[in-house]
Amino acid sequence: MELTERLKGLRSFCAEACRQTLEPALYAVGIGIYSAGVGCAALRLPKARLLARGQKEVWRRLADRLDPEARYVWIHAASLGEFEQGRPLIERIRRERPEYKILLTFFSPSGYEVRKDYAGADCVCYLPFDTPGRVKRFLETVKPEKAIFVKYEIWRNYLRGLWQRQVPTYLVSAVFRPEQAFFKKRSAWYRCWLRWYTGIFVQDERSRRLLEDAGIEGAVVAGDTRFDRVADIRNAARDIPELSRFRDSDDRPIAVAGSSWPLDEEVYLPWFRRNKDRMKLVIAPHEFDDARIKKLCSAEGLACVGFSQLKSDPVLADKADCIVMDCFGLLSSAYRYGDVAYVGGGFGAGIHNINEAAVYGIPVVFGPNHGRFLEAGDLIGAGGGFSVGSAEELSDLMEGRLADKEARREAGRRADAYIRSKLGATDRVFRSIFTSGG
């Protein structure tokens, strides 16, 4: 028995020695292959082309915009969604800790290309690929005093480089699930990356327990900063005269279908065709071109008009059953004109931002692919959210629970109460990171 235990200990020692020797090299090789793959994909894919071009421009942009005498807080968001999640914290730092300048980095073109001129940061650029040489150059150039990563951003070499330089480093609004590599026995060595964070702020108690069971102590349940962001958006919502006229043209309630995809439209459009005398519709497609807008505006059985047409001929809103938003940037304000919202993406990769609609105190309907989004299950449990898996289920919901005006308003009140109960994450994170003298 004693010999068996010694052999087990020797095997564990050898396995750990192999991991420590091979893991950094294998990771660097993997990132190098990915970088080369982006270069190849750039020959034919527009997003890859933007990423490759942005990677080449990083060092020039840093040289042009960084102040070598300034103190920087570095905030990294993978894409646009994570940026919106981190934005309340960025604005709080800007407002209350003006001695710091802010460097904001993105990994995805869909974030960088939209927010590269964001006035809330002093410098915005792509995150250089996570290879040892690039990491060393980046950290020596920026010299951040604090580093904050949003939600899922866990880059091995950056984290190790920051840890070696004793830079306080934080992960905010994080969510962890049992199926992630950190919690699998065969890949448990990933956990050491998490130990390089100074602090981890998670959205829920389950995430904290998962980390604790994996030996990662000290995670704090701070909530999700996205709730603070949607509250800010609601307070700054724009008036949209065209939608106001559409709302006031008759007494039919309005449904706003936001971030809509073709698969979503196959689910909700049949009901609206049959019930156009009972409810009007606003469609804001997630992505569109002229062909897609033309197809939506010619939807059979509905009198549809493009939003841009209303600019020159507002009277068109008086006779329309449906308005198609053929412009970007208005969705978060458009929800305020709705009596019920349908948020798209749930029949594809996953739902889009349901909080953006719920904050207006209206019930929110979405598709079945919402398992990765804590707020979806919570909103359903609160009575303000509803998941449907087919056109038939949506029809049953609209004919049943949401048909009655008072029931619809009660669901909206529940949605509003849920959002209000989740506010304050930004304050908790800010106070923890930026203590007096911090």
The 3-state secondary structure of 151-178, one letter per residue: CCCCCHHHHHHHHHCCCCEEEEEECCCC
Mean pLDDT over residues 122-130, rounded? 96
Q: What is the CATH number for 321? A: 3.40.50.2000
Straight-line distance from the first to the last Cα atom of the chain, in angstroms, rounded to the nearest whole number: 53
**pLDDT, tens digit, 9 for 90 and up, residues 309-335:** 998 899 999 999 999 999 988 999 999
Sort residue 75 into left (φ over 0), alpha (ψ -120 to 50) or beta: beta
Residues 306, 379 share a domain: yes
Evaluate whether residue 393 is within a structural domain. yes
pTM: 0.83
What's CA 128's distance to the chain center, in Å? Answer: 21
Given a cut of 90, is residue 422 above it in pLDDT?
yes
Given a cut of 90, is residue 181 above it in pLDDT?
no
pLDDT value for 299: 85
Per-residue b or e along 201-217, where b marks 16 or more CB atoms closer than 10 Å to that residue's CB: bbbbeebbebbeebebe
Residues 219, 249 share a domain: no
pLDDT value for 6: 52
pLDDT value for 18: 52
Mean pLDDT over residues 124-128, rounded? 96
DSSP string spanning 96-133?
Answer: H-TTEEEEEEESSHHHHHHHTT-TTSSEEEEPPPS-HH
Q: What percent of the chain has a predicted confidence (pLDDT) above 70?
A: 94
Evaluate whether residue 1 is within a structural domain. no
Evaluate whether residue 366 is within a structural domain. yes
Given a cut of 50, is residue 212 above it in pLDDT?
yes
Residue among 305, 303, 253 at smallest CA distance from 280 = 253
Evaluate whether residue 14 is within a structural domain. no
E strand spans, 50-99: 71-77
Evaluate whether residue 352 is within a structural domain. yes
pLDDT value for 21: 63
Distance in angstroms (rounded) separating the CA atoms of residues 269 and 298: 12
Distance in angstroms (rounded) separating the CA atoms of residues 70 and 297: 52
pLDDT value for 32: 81
Residues 60, 201 share a domain: yes
Evaluate whether residue 281 is within a structural domain. yes
* Phi, psi (rounded to 5 degrees) for 197: -75, 140
Distance in angstroms (rounded) separating the CA atoms of residues 313 and 360: 28
pLDDT value for 381: 97
Q: Do the Cβ atoms of 172 and 83 come closer than 8 Å?
A: no
Eight-class DSSP state of 394: H
Q: Do the Cβ atoms of 346 and 370 come closer than 8 Å?
A: yes
Q: What percent of the chain has a predicted confidence (pLDDT) above 90?
A: 75
One-letter amino acid identity for 278? R
Q: For residue 280, give the 3-state DSSP assignment.
A: strand
Given a cut of 90, is residue 22 above it in pLDDT?
no
Residues 157, 186 share a domain: yes
Residues 209, 268 share a domain: no
Given a cut of 50, is residue 425 above it in pLDDT?
yes
Residues 172, 305 share a domain: no
Residue among 245, 238, 253 at smallest CA distance from 313 = 245
Mean pLDDT over residues 58-85, rounded? 94
Residues 338, 250 share a domain: yes
More confident residue, 295 or 34: 295
pLDDT value for 46: 85
What does the angle CA 149 – CA 333 – CA 248 come to, to the nearest 5 degrees? 165
Residues 127, 74 share a domain: yes
Q: What is the CATH number for 215? A: 3.40.50.11720
Q: For residue 383, give the 3-state DSSP assignment.
A: coil
Residues 283, 209 share a domain: no
**Residue 189 burial (CB < 10 Å; 0-12/13-18/19+)?**
middle
Residues 218, 344 share a domain: no
> How many distinct structural domains can be found in the chain?
2
Distance in angstroms (rounded) separating the CA atoms of residues 222 and 192: 22
pLDDT value for 12: 52
Q: For residue 360, give the 3-state DSSP assignment.
A: coil
Evaluate whether residue 28 is within a structural domain. no
Residue among 28, 70, 37, 74 at smallest CA distance from 55 = 37
Residues 188, 84 share a domain: yes
Q: Do the Cβ atoms of 251 and 225 come closer than 8 Å?
A: no
pLDDT value for 5: 56
Distance in angstroms (rounded) separating the CA atoms of residues 75 and 204: 22
Q: For residue 388, give the 3-state DSSP assignment.
A: coil
Mean pLDDT over residues 188-192, rounded? 77
Comparing 182-186, 298-302, 337-341, 424-428, which segment has the lowest mean pLDDT? 182-186
Residues 57, 101 share a domain: yes
Distance in angstroms (rounded) separating the CA atoms of residues 58 and 116: 12
What's CA 132's distance to the chain center, in Å? Answer: 28
Evaluate whether residue 2 is within a structural domain. no
Q: 159 is in which domain, residue-wise?
A: 45-224+426-433
**pLDDT, tens digit, 9 for 90 and up, residues 221-272:** 999 999 999 999 999 999 999 999 999 999 999 999 999 999 999 999 999 9
* Phi, psi (rounded to 5 degrees) for 285: -65, 145
pLDDT value for 190: 77
**pLDDT, tens digit, 9 for 90 and up, residues 10-20:** 455 444 545 55
Given a cut of 80, is residue 83 above it in pLDDT?
yes
pLDDT value for 13: 45
pLDDT value for 10: 47
Comparing 34-38, 49-53, 85-89, which segment has the lowest mean pLDDT? 34-38
One-letter amino acid identity for 438? G
Residue among 366, 377, 369 at smallest CA distance from 204 = 377
Average pLDDT over the chain, rounded to whole?
Answer: 91
* 437: Cα within 13 Å, side-chain hemisphere: 0
